[in-house]
Chains A and B, each alone.
Chain A
Amino acid sequence: MDASPLTVPPGPSESDLIRDVATGSATAIAAMYRRHAAGIFRVASRLLGSASDAEDVVQDVFVGLPEAIRKFDGRGSFEGWLRRVAARTTLMRMRRERQRRQVALEPNADGVPAPGADNIARWDLERALRAVPARLRAVLVLRQLEGYSHREIGTMLGISSGASRVRFSRALQMLRRIWRTTT
C-alpha cells in the first residue's frame, strides 16, 4: 500500500495541524478549533441572527472538518478556505430555515449578550441587523465583515455579481432605516 507512516508532528505549524486534523486527531481538532472557532461563530451569528443556530454551525464545521480538510489542496490560505466552507455551511442552513418558513425569533431571544453601558449603540445595531431580510443580510455580512468580493459572493449565493452589489446597497439602506426608526 502506498502510504506514509503515521507520525506525531513536532510542532503545531498549520500544515502539520491540517494533516493531523485529516486523520481525525482530537488534539488537532481542538487546536484548530481554538484558532478559528470564534471567527466562524461571529460570522454565522450575524448571518443567521441566532446564537444557538450559529453554535450548531460551528459544531457542524468542526465535526465535519477531518473529512472535508482532505479536499483542501494546499493552494491559498487555509484560513480563507475554512471561512469559505463555514460561510457555505451557514448559507445552507439559512436556505433550509427559509424553506421551512420558520418564524424568526424575537430580537435577543436567542443568546446574543445584553449590552453593557459602553456598547448600547452596537447592540441596537445588531438587533437592527437581525431585522434585515436574510438574503440582504447575507450579502452585507459577507461583504463588509468577511471581505468577499461581489463575484465571490455571487458564486456562493448563486446570484450575479451585479445582484450582489444591488443587495449590498439595499441592505445598507434598510439597516440604516431600521436603525434610525428603532433608536
Chain B
Amino acid sequence: MKWLRLHPNADALSGYANRTLDDGDQRSVAEHLASCESCRDGVMILRTLMGSESYALPPRVLDKVLEARATGRRVILPVDDSADPRGLRLSLWTRSAIAAGSIAAALLFLLQPNQVTAGERTGLLRFDPPRPRVGATLTATYAPGALLNRYDSLTLRARLRRPTDPQYNWGPLQEVVAVLHRGAGGAFRATFHLPDSVVFAAFAVESPAGDIVDDNGGRLWEVVAYDQSGKPLFDGLAQKIGDLMGRNWEQTLITARQLTRSYPDEPEGWSLLVAHERWVLGDSTADALLPSHRRRFASFHNAFAEQGSLPLRTVAGMEDYAIQVDDHASARYWIDRRARDFPRDPDVLFRQENRLRNDSGWVVNPHRYFPIADSLWARMPPDAGETAIQLANNGLAAALQTGDTNALRVWSRRYEQVDRDKELAARYVGTSLAGFAPLRAEGLDALRRAIRLLSDAPDAYRPLGTTAHAHRAASAALEQRVLSDLAHALLLAGDTAAALDTLRVAAKKGWNSAVFRSIAEMWLANGDTVQAVQNLARVTADPIAATELPDSLRALEQRAPAGAWSQRVNAARSEMRTAVLAGTDPYLPAGAPRVQAQDGTLRSWADLTRGHVTVVAFWSRNCGYAVRDLPELARLTDRLRSIGVSLVTIADEPASDSLRAFLRGKHLQGLPAYGDVRGDARRAFANFATPQYYVLDPAGRVVFARSQLADVPLQAAALLPELP
C-alpha cells in the first residue's frame, strides 16, 4: 500500500491511529503523514477521541436504577436475536436462570398478589421458520414468564389474516391455533399449519382457562408470510398494517416504510405510507414530506399512465396515492380509469353509490337512489369484504333517512348479512327498526338475536390480549345495554310488564346506573314508590349519576325518610363496589414516567397519581376518535374532581405552543393536559393506541385498563375509600 500521492482512506487512518495496520502499511501511512497536514490532523483527532476520559458517570445513577426496579419499572431493550435463524435457543444456565427467576417471581406473586407487573406475564415466543411461506408448518417455542410457568400446557391463540381482511380488529377474528406442551428444558412447544390463504398472523399465549394472557406487553407476536426469494409478501405487510391499526400506530408507520422498501414500485405502498405519516407524525411533518411524495407520484404517473394494461392493485394504488398527495387532476384520471378497466371492482361500485348523495351525505333523490343501490348491491362480488359492509351501511342509513319501510327491511337484512360483528349489527338493526311501528316486531327480534350472541360470548370475538373473564364481563356489560334497548322497545310497543321484567334481567348483569334509573322511573310511573326508592338508592350510589337525576326522582329522594334513605344508599354503595371491582387484577405501570405540563415543567408520576384515584386518558390530536372524546373529558374533569378523583390526559407529544393552540381552538384550556415527553408514559402502560382510558387506585395501581369512557366514572367511584 502506497499513500505518497493518494490520501489514505479513513479506515487506514483509523488503523494507523490504533496501530492495527501491519508494519508495511504503518510505514506507508507514516510517510504520507510526514507531508500531509490534513491527514496528520485526522490521526490526531482519532487518537484524541480514543483517549478521552471526560465522560464521568454522574453520581446516583445506580440508585435510580435500583429504585426504578423496586417500583416495578421495566424497560424492553433492543436485544437482537431476530437474526438467529434457528429460533429460540436457551443455554442451560439461562434456562436455570429463567426457572429460578420464575420461582422467585411466582413466590412474590403468591405473597403479594396485588403487586403483579407486566414483566411477570411476559415470556418469549419464537417461530421456526421465522420467515415462513404461505401454507408453511410452524413450530412455536415459548419460554413463559412467571405467571404461566405453572401450567403443563398453554393455549396459542391467533388472529389469522387473509389478503381481503379489513383493517382494525373488530369482530370474530380470533381462534385457537395450537396447544403448547412443556418439553425438555422447560420451554413449551407446538407445531401447527398456517393455512394457504393466511398472509399475516398475530399471536398471544394464555393459560388453559384463558385467565392469564401473555400478549407480549400489548404488542402481540407477529408472523408475516414471505415469498420464495425471502421477501415479505405485499399482502402480508398490508394486512399487518391493518392489524396494527388502532393498537400500535407507530408500528403501522414502520411497517408502511418496510412495505415501500420491499416494493418501491408499488404506488399502493406509498399511498399507505403517506397516509400513516400524516396520522402518526402529524400535519407539519407530513406537509414537509409531501413534496418528495409529489415528485415520486409524478414519476409513477408518467410511467404508468401510458401503459395500456395495468393490474388492479397498481391502478387502485395510483388513485389512492393521487388523493393522498392532493393531485386532484390525476386522481380524476385514475378514478375514471379504474371505473373503465375494472367496472365490477367493489370500490368502483361503491363510488357510484356515493354519487347519489350530496356533500353532506344525504340522499338527494330517494326514488332514484334505491333502485340504483339495489342494482349495485346485486353486482357486488361475494368477496367484497369491507366495501360491501360500507354499501349496506349506506343503504340502511338512506332507508332510515327516508323512513321507507320496505327499504329498511331490505337493507337491514343486507347489513346484518355482511357485517362481521354480528352482535353489534343486530343491535344497530334492532334499535333502528324498533323506532318504526310497522317494523317493531322485527326490531325486537333483532335485539333478541344480539342478546343471544352476547350471552354466548363466543371466544372468536375475544381480543387476543383479553382474558376469558374480562371478555365475559365486557359481553355481559354490552348485553345489559342491549337488554335496556329491548326494554325501551317493549315500552314503545306498549308492553310495560315485559319491559320492566327485561330491565330487571338487565340489572342482574352488572352495576349500571342508567338501567337502575330506568327501572326506578318505570316503577314510579306505575305508582310503586317502594320499588322506585330501592332502585333510586342504587343510582345515587354512583356519585356522578346522582348529580343527573331528573326532577321526578329527586323529589322522590327528598320524600324518603332520612335514616332509612341513608342506610339504603350505603348498602347500595357497598354492593356497587363489590360488583364493579369483581375480577379486577390490579398491577403497577412499568415504571414511573415523567410527563410535561403545559407550562413546560416536568411532573413526576407520583405527584400526579399517588394518594387519590386517578383517571388516565391517552389521546392524540391526530386521532379523530380521541379528539371526539375530549369535550366529554373536559366535562368530566370537574365532576370527577368533586368526588376526589383527578384526571390526567396525556397527549402523544411534548407540550408545545402548537398543542396549546390546538386545545385553545377547541375551548379545552381547562383540560388537565400533559405531554408524553419521551414516550415514557406510553411505555409504562404498554399503550400504543388512542383513545385509551385507565383508572388507577390511590396506590397508583392500574385497576381498570383500556376502559370505555362511559364506564370510567363508575369505575373511579368504586375505588373511592369513602364516597363523599
Report which A residues bind B (CB closer than 8 A). Answer: 1-6, 15, 18-19, 22-24, 26, 29-30, 33-34, 37-38, 41-42, 45-46, 51, 54-56, 58-74, 84-85, 88-89, 92, 96, 99-101, 111-113, 115, 119, 121-123, 125-126, 129, 140, 143-145, 150, 155, 165, 168-169, 171-173, 175-176, 179-180
Contacts and interface: CB of A to CB of B under 8 A. Distances in A.
Counting chain B CB atoms within 10 Å of each CB, the highest count among A42, A71, A129 belongs to A71
A86 B323 CA distance: 42
A168 B10 CA distance: 7
B64 interface: yes
B14 A144 contact: yes
B303 interface: no
Contacts of A145: 49-50
B41 A179 contact: yes
B45 A175 contact: yes
B214 to A, nearest CB: 13
Contacts of B83: 155
Contacts of B102: 3
B287 to A, nearest CB: 13
7 contacts: A19-B93, A41-B61, A61-B75, A70-B97, A71-B81, A140-B49, A172-B46
B62 A37 contact: yes
B57 A123 contact: no
Where chain B touches its partner, the secondary structure class is helix
A3, A45, A46, A54, most chain B CB atoms within 10 A? A3
Nearest to B183: A2
Contacts of B101: 22-24, 66, 70
Contacts of B74: 63-64, 67
A151 to B, nearest CB: 12
A13 B46 CA distance: 34
Given A122-B54, A172-B46, A59 B65 contact: yes
Given A6-B103, A59-B61, A121 B48 contact: yes
B209 interface: no
Interface in B21-58: 38, 41-42, 45-46, 48-52, 54-58
Contact of A169 (B10, B52, B66): B10
Given A58-B61, A144-B14, A23 B104 contact: yes
Nearest to B143: A70
B112 interface: no
A59 B46 CA distance: 28
B55 A100 contact: no
Contacts of B143: 70
B94 A73 contact: yes
Contacts of A15: 93
A22 B103 CA distance: 12
A176 B41 contact: yes
B42 A172 contact: yes
Contacts of B97: 18-19, 22-23, 69-70
Given A41-B57, A122-B48, A122-B52, A70 B38 contact: no
B654 interface: yes
Contacts of A51: 55, 58
Contact of A22 (B51, B75, B78, B98): B98
B351 to A, nearest CB: 36
Contact of A42 (B14, B55, B77, B185): B55
Nearest to B122: A67
Given A18-B93, A71-B79, 6 more contacts: A33-B65, A42-B55, A63-B69, A67-B76, A70-B143, A71-B124
Interface of B: 9-11, 13-14, 17, 38, 41-42, 45-46, 48-52, 54-58, 61-62, 64-66, 68-70, 73-81, 83, 89-91, 93-94, 96-105, 119, 122, 124, 143, 149-150, 182, 185-186, 281, 285, 591, 654, 678-679
Contact of A4 (B13, B52, B96, B105): B96
B49 A74 contact: no
Contact of B69 (A29, A140, A176): A29
A4 B65 contact: no
Given A1-B99, A96-B679, A169-B9, A46 B94 contact: no
A65 to B, nearest CB: 7
B186 to A, nearest CB: 4
A121 B44 CA distance: 10
A119 B54 CA distance: 9
A123 B54 CA distance: 8
Nearest to A5: B100
A36 B38 CA distance: 36
Given A19-B97, A144-B49, A67 B119 contact: yes
Given A41-B55, A71-B81, A122-B51, A176 B38 contact: yes
Contacts of A113: 54, 56
Most buried by A among B10, B13, B41, B50: B10
The 9 closest A-B pairs by CB, nearest first: A64-B75, A3-B99, A22-B97, A74-B91, A4-B96, A169-B10, A68-B77, A88-B78, A64-B77
Contacts of A62: 62, 65
A181 B247 CA distance: 50
A4 to B, nearest CB: 4
A85 B79 contact: yes
Contact of A70 (B13, B41, B50, B124): B124
Contacts of A144: 14, 17, 46, 49-50
Contacts of B186: 1-3
Nearest to A92: B78
A55 B62 contact: no
Contacts of B68: 59, 63
A176 B42 contact: yes
Contacts of A92: 78
A37 B57 contact: yes
